[in-house]
Amino acid sequence: MTDPKGGTVLVVDLGAQYAQLIARRVREAHVYSEIVPRSITAEEIRDRVPIGVILSGGPASVYADDAYEIDEGILELGVPIFGICYGHQVIAHSLGGTVARTGTAEYGRTDMVGIGPGVLLEGLPERQSVWMSHGDSVTAAPEGFTVTASTEGSPVAAMENRSAGIYGVQFHPEVAHTPRGDEIFKHFLYEACGAPPSWTRHSIIEDSVAAVRSQVGDSQVICGLSGGVDSSVAAALVHEAIGDQLTCIFVDHGLLRAGEGVQVEETFRSHFDINLIHVKAQDRFLEALAGVADPEAKRKIIGELFIRVFEEVAAEVSGAKFLVQGTLYPDVIESGTGTAAKIKTHHNVGGLPDDMVFDLIEPLRDLFKDEVRAVGEELGLPAEIVWRQPFPGPGLAVRIIGDVTLERLEILRAADGIVVDEIRKAGLYEEIWQSFGVLPAIRSVGVQGDGRTYAYPLIVRAVMSEDAMTADWARLPYEVMESISSRVMNEVQGINRVAYDISSKPPSTIEWE
């Protein structure tokens, strides 16, 4: 994304588990932010012309042999800088302050006392609760800095050099456990950086439409439409920009949820005046996946075949040069960047073939899921699309652990439909981030109708999340679990056992593959 009118705040990731959360908090204040790796140089930041820089927390001591460091020239750019936790310590250590062990490590809720005036804490209570997570502390601020708050274990819990535009806090204002954290971010953004709160759903659409028009010109464009939130919003956004130059191609790989293929076609033909081609390709995808158990191999096979089908259909769309995809920011992060290790390859990021003939249009590439939903609402998409739970591009193929066969696919599709139906009946569908079934390619002994069975187990997965970067397992009511279990084992032939996944992310991922 080109920098929005209000400018960009760069979040330098120093190894924090909360780097993505920091970026989200900035965006929630209606200022655009991007995460960049700690290897970024002062020159690279200068070239980006950001309106502010935030140094995240991190796991190490500034004195450790493997301590994460920054180009100290960043502190001399004259750009407003805000250090959080480890970033706070890096600033102090780099500018001549003192970082040491005080003998009182702080983890969790901590009482903080304001001891001087300052930009970050202006108008906040003298005493407030903040969330700490550190061993080392800044014990003496660098020359020219004013200490504005302290705690029992952190003599310099907050400091700032207003004339230099450099600020730091030992606590984590980005987490919900720091109740006034959003106000601290706004003080940095609005007061220190002079940023206008102009990055809104309307401005996102306006900027994206302009970028798409500039990229496309008068060329024809095709869009990979799955009917999920991401591809649907991407299609609507591009259609807003170029109208009839867009043709949506719905490649039905046969790995969708129950009834989804029909629903996608009906929705887009009835709600939108968009050119739509429906390609039914289940046999081709199952043939390509036959005997493949490795999840990364599945994703790459599906991603490449998806593109090959597009190339074939593109012959019917004269002059098509561009392909629209609903890639999101978490997809990019999880597929591996200079900031984050690769967790898994997303079929629409790392799974694309090198010899693909299309140039990509990814209007949602810099957005989190909640931002995508907001854009969808602004574009007037139906609620049943905007609030549909996320679904992986490779579909049920990565919810079948092991070889994907037609038998396993039909079993899982039926069972998964029951899971979603019961979640809806309980009024939990929009509250839960994702709820679905997983089918491991193993069998266990059971008894049904006084006879022995040897059938598959179903793993039920339901999680709560804001953006899929972290997630906690949903505490479903027992009666909902009972209904799911009873219906699955009574209605789906081939399943004789139901289990519930109570793993959070991290250390697990939301999907099993």
Domain 399-500 bears CATH identifier 3.30.300.10: yes
Tell which residue, 169, 59, 77, 185, has the closest CA to residue 114. Answer: 169
3-state DSSP percent of the chain in helix, strand and coil, to 5: 35, 25, 40
- Residue 229, both tokens: 């939130």
**Is residue 353 classed exposed, middle or buried when 0-12, 13-18 and 19+ CB atoms within 10 A define those classes?**
middle
- Non-local (6+) Cβ contacts of 276 within 8 A are 225, 247, 248, 249, 250, 265, 268, 269
Q: Do residues 208 and 342 make contact, with C-beta atoms less than 8 angstroms apart?
A: no
**Is residue 137 classed exposed, middle or buried when 0-12, 13-18 and 19+ CB atoms within 10 A define those classes?**
buried
pLDDT at residue 355 in the model: 64
Tell which residue, 190, 193, 191, 151, has the closest CA to residue 172. Answer: 151
Tell which residue, 188, 194, 208, 27, has the closest CA to residue 120. Answer: 188
Q: Is the peptide bond before 506 cis (omega within 30 degrees of 0)?
A: yes
Judge whether 8-192 and 201-386 match in fold: yes
Has 172 been annotated as catalytic? Answer: yes
Q: Do residues 31 and 61 make contact, with C-beta atoms less than 8 angstroms apart?
A: no
SS3 call for 485: helix
Query: E strands within 79-189?
Result: 81-84, 98-114, 127-140, 146-150, 158-161, 166-169
Task: Out of 34, 106, 160, 174, pick the active-site residue.
Answer: 174
Task: Out of 85, 193, 223, 248, pick the active-site residue.
Answer: 85
The architecture of the domain spanning 201-386 is 3-Layer(aba) Sandwich (3.40)
SS3 call for 55: strand
The architecture of the domain spanning 8-192 is 3-Layer(aba) Sandwich (3.40)
Q: Is the peptide bond before 507 cis (omega within 30 degrees of 0)?
A: yes
Task: Out of 93, 172, 239, 346, pick the active-site residue.
Answer: 172
Query: Hunting for tokens 């705690």 — which residue is that?
Result: 151
Has 187 been annotated as catalytic? Answer: no
pLDDT tens for each residue of the chain, 513 residues long: 556 777 999 999 998 777 888 999 999 999 999 999 999 999 999 999 999 999 998 877 788 877 888 999 999 999 999 999 999 999 999 999 999 887 777 888 999 999 988 999 999 999 999 999 888 899 999 999 999 999 988 999 999 999 999 999 999 999 988 999 999 999 999 999 999 999 999 999 999 999 999 999 999 998 988 778 898 899 999 999 999 999 998 989 999 998 888 878 887 777 778 889 999 999 999 999 999 999 999 999 998 998 888 778 877 787 788 989 888 887 776 654 444 433 333 444 344 556 667 789 999 998 988 899 999 999 988 888 888 898 888 999 999 999 999 999 999 999 999 999 999 999 999 999 999 999 998 998 988 776 788 899 999 999 999 777 789 999 999 999 999 999 999 999 999 999 999 999 989 999 999
Q: Do residues 347 and 393 make contact, with C-beta atoms less than 8 angstroms apart?
A: yes
Every domain of the chain and the residues it spans: 8-192, 201-386, 399-500
DSSP letter at 191 equals I
- Non-local (6+) Cβ contacts of 445 within 8 A are 452, 453, 454, 496
Has 177 been annotated as catalytic? Answer: no
Q: Distance between CA atoms of 28 and 199, rounded to whole angstroms?
A: 9
Residue 462 phi/psi, 5° resolution?
Answer: -145, 130
Relative orientation angle of helices 201-216 and 229-242, to the nearest 10 degrees:
60
- Non-local (6+) Cβ contacts of 251 within 8 A are 224, 279, 281, 306, 309, 310, 313
